[in-house]
A and B are shown apart, each in its own frame.
Chain A
Amino acid sequence: MSHFLRLYKTFIAQYFKRLLEYRIDFLTGAFSFLFDQVTSLVFIFIIFSQIPTLSGYPFEAIVFIYGFSLIPKGLDHFFTDNLWKVAYFMVRRGDFDRYLTKPIHPLLHVIMETWQIDALGELLIGLSLVIYSSSQGIIQWIWTDIILLPLTLIMASLIYTSIKMMVSAIALWTKRSGSILQMVYSTNEFAKYPIAIYHKIIQFTITYVIPFAFTSYFPARYFMTRENPWVNLGGLYGIALIFTLSGVYLWQAGLKVYESAGS
């Protein structure tokens, strides 16, 4: 374990050197993601200047769900961004080969190798919105939240990570799966709003097929209403664990059949 921590520290030290080299670029990256969220907030604001509640939820509740959805998304974005590169071009260009020559598991190596500072934009907005909306009385915090809130956020990030693991693993067979990943991943946009506003088919998809609704709407509803913890939180934990195991399994299977594309 301490071996891994030491390795991780070395990788991240390298990352920070690159960060300093391209300082402006990293700052604009984080700022862009922040700006992107701000425009969505203006949009929510404009909607609420016209109506008092959106399918029964007041402004603060919508802001809470929206902000809550950004935190796991940002955490995953921060820690496991390299999986995108595997899906898009690492395998196709043959760059992936080098992970196979190192004495750590390739999946672990890919994830540990880097951070993505851009995600700070999402995390910052997400946290501010959650803090703002809960200060408006939409949440009555109770003592179990000290454990449940961090645990829920971690589990919700695992849903993002495991979906990225599963789809990026496809590239080990097909050489690239970036576009499929893009399609699957982009459905998380639906999770930013209460799922009740969507058509039944969409609700079904983001609950049972690509379960992004469990990264925001269900847990957020638990914290707001304290109803159905077994479904709203238990469902999330169960799915996160099953998906993570499936992701690891798919990587193992993919590594067995992997053939280099490089020359």
Chain B
Amino acid sequence: MNRIKAYIPFSKGGFLTAIAYRTHILGFLVGELLFSFIMYYLWKTVFANTGGTLLGFTFSDMVVFIFLSNATRFLIHSEATYTVAEEIVEGSISMRLIKPVRLDLSLMFTDLGSTILTFLLIFIPMLIGIEIYRFVEFGVWMISPIRILLFLFSASLSFLVNFYFDLCFGFMAFFLKNLWGFSILKQSMVNFLSGSMIPLDFLPKIFADPIKLMPFASISYTPVMIFMGKYSGMTVFNAMALQIFWVIMLYLLSALIFSIAKRYLSVQGG
């Protein structure tokens, strides 16, 4: 327990940084919301043309999907890639390495600090908005506490998958020094393959099935499908087991990369 206590100040730091950079977060929020609205109007036009359902999705399903995916992306957002990459290039990573804390946990708790803020200020309002939308659409409250709990549990796993994936990516800076291009590539890859742009079931089955097994689907598709009730019974269990599998795999991978990368670390000046 004491071990965890050592990391609490990192969360506090992350929380305060998030508050200090609120305009930055606001800019990010507006950009993401804009993207969701473009998706909303595109699908609205599509559904107006097809009428009824499309591959098992109704239009209101789609609306929930678009905005919940968006909210989930905010919730699991991690700065690990940028922080690690910047510290490696600047050499300030040495300050982290000489402290008696673990690199991954100190970064994770920093992320958690800002996650608390986005949970309260972005996620909760969006969830309320989605529930109100469903109430207006269906005339009854669709709130299901069990689904919300399962969603939050699955989203926590998503956070871990995303975090360790980001960390692995950040460690690439040990070899490449400059990560700007790679981080854009990573972002568009994650956006597409995680199914937050198009429901994975809309892709041809031959692509959808392997993509669902990749860690990307564990990032946002799984919790969103659970919330929407598209997964039920054993499927929920299997999807979460896959998430746990990827948390462990990516954790081991990041540890491996780090142990190799440490040998390449060269800090100039100090």
Please report A residues at the B interface, Cβ cutoff 8 Å: 22, 24-33, 35-36, 39, 42-43, 46-47, 50-55, 118, 178-180, 182-183, 186-187, 189-190, 192-193, 197-199, 202
Complex contacts, B185 vs chain A, CB 8 Å: 28, 31-32, 35
Complex contacts, B46 vs chain A, CB 8 Å: 47, 50-51, 54
Contact (A36, B184) CB under 8 Å given A189-B38, A202-B37: yes
A25, A43, A179: the one contacting B181 at CB < 8 Å is A25
The answer to whether B26 touches A29, judged by C-beta atoms less than 8 angstroms apart, is: no
Contact (A197, B188) CB under 8 Å given A179-B24, A182-B31, A202-B37: no
Complex contacts, B37 vs chain A, CB 8 Å: 202
Contact segment of B124-132, B160-168, B197-205: B197-205
A199 to B34 Cα, complex, angstroms: 13
The answer to whether A43 touches B34, judged by C-beta atoms less than 8 angstroms apart, is: no
A189 to B31 Cα, complex, angstroms: 9
Complex contacts, A50 vs chain B, CB 8 Å: 46, 50, 54
The answer to whether B181 touches A183, judged by C-beta atoms less than 8 angstroms apart, is: no
The answer to whether A183 touches B27, judged by C-beta atoms less than 8 angstroms apart, is: yes
A114 to B113 Cα, complex, angstroms: 38
The answer to whether B182 touches A197, judged by C-beta atoms less than 8 angstroms apart, is: no
Contact (A43, B27) CB under 8 Å given A22-B178, A25-B181, A199-B41: no
Can you spell out 18 A-B residue pairs with CB atoms less than 8 angstroms apart?
A: A22-B178, A27-B181, A35-B185, A35-B188, A36-B184, A39-B197, A46-B203, A47-B46, A51-B46, A52-B49, A183-B27, A183-B30, A183-B31, A186-B31, A197-B44, A198-B41, A199-B41, A202-B37
Complex contacts, B26 vs chain A, CB 8 Å: 179, 183
A47 to B184 Cα, complex, angstroms: 25
Chain B residue, CB-CB nearest to A182: B27
Complex contacts, A27 vs chain B, CB 8 Å: 181
Contact (A33, B38) CB under 8 Å given A42-B192, A179-B24: no
Question: Closest 8 CB pairs between A and B?
Answer: A29-B181, A179-B27, A28-B181, A32-B185, A32-B184, A36-B188, A39-B192, A182-B27
The answer to whether A46 touches B198, judged by C-beta atoms less than 8 angstroms apart, is: yes
Main secondary structure of the interface of B (DSSP, over half): helix
The answer to whether B30 touches A186, judged by C-beta atoms less than 8 angstroms apart, is: yes
Complex contacts, A33 vs chain B, CB 8 Å: 184
The answer to whether A39 touches B50, judged by C-beta atoms less than 8 angstroms apart, is: no
Chain A residue, CB-CB nearest to B22: A179
Shortest Cβ gap from A222 to chain B (Å): 22
B191 at interface (Cβ–Cβ under 8 A)? yes
B30, B34, B191: the one contacting A190 at CB < 8 Å is B34
Shortest Cβ gap from B173 to chain A (Å): 11
For the complex with contacts A22-B177, A179-B26, 5 further pairs of A-B residues with Cβ separation under 8 Å are: A32-B181, A50-B50, A179-B24, A179-B27, A183-B31
The answer to whether A43 touches B184, judged by C-beta atoms less than 8 angstroms apart, is: no
Chain B CB within 10 A, most for which of A33, A39, A180:
A39
Complex contacts, B177 vs chain A, CB 8 Å: 22, 25
B23 at interface (Cβ–Cβ under 8 A)? yes
Contact (A190, B50) CB under 8 Å given A35-B185, A36-B184: no
B35 at interface (Cβ–Cβ under 8 A)? yes
A24 to B185 Cα, complex, angstroms: 13
A190 to B31 Cα, complex, angstroms: 11
Chain A residue, CB-CB nearest to B26: A179
Complex contacts, A55 vs chain B, CB 8 Å: 45
B42 at interface (Cβ–Cβ under 8 A)? yes
List residues 184-235 of chain B with CB under 8 A from any CB of chain A. Answer: 184-185, 188-189, 191-192, 197-198, 202-203
B27, B182, B192: the one contacting A180 at CB < 8 Å is B27
The answer to whether B42 touches A187, judged by C-beta atoms less than 8 angstroms apart, is: no
Complex contacts, A192 vs chain B, CB 8 Å: 38
Complex contacts, A199 vs chain B, CB 8 Å: 41
Chain B residue, CB-CB nearest to A195: B41
A28, A46, A53, A202: the one contacting B49 at CB < 8 Å is A53
Shortest Cβ gap from A118 to chain B (Å): 7
Shortest Cβ gap from B115 to chain A (Å): 20
A187 to B31 Cα, complex, angstroms: 8
A26, A36, A179: the one contacting B23 at CB < 8 Å is A179
The answer to whether A25 touches B178, judged by C-beta atoms less than 8 angstroms apart, is: yes
B180 at interface (Cβ–Cβ under 8 A)? yes
A43, A53, A178: the one contacting B198 at CB < 8 Å is A43
A33 to B188 Cα, complex, angstroms: 9
The answer to whether A43 touches B178, judged by C-beta atoms less than 8 angstroms apart, is: no
The answer to whether B45 touches A197, judged by C-beta atoms less than 8 angstroms apart, is: yes
A179 to B23 Cα, complex, angstroms: 6
Complex contacts, A178 vs chain B, CB 8 Å: 24, 27
B136 at interface (Cβ–Cβ under 8 A)? no
Chain A CB within 10 A, most for which of B30, B41, B181, B182:
B181
Chain B residue, CB-CB nearest to A117: B181
Complex contacts, B27 vs chain A, CB 8 Å: 178-180, 182-183
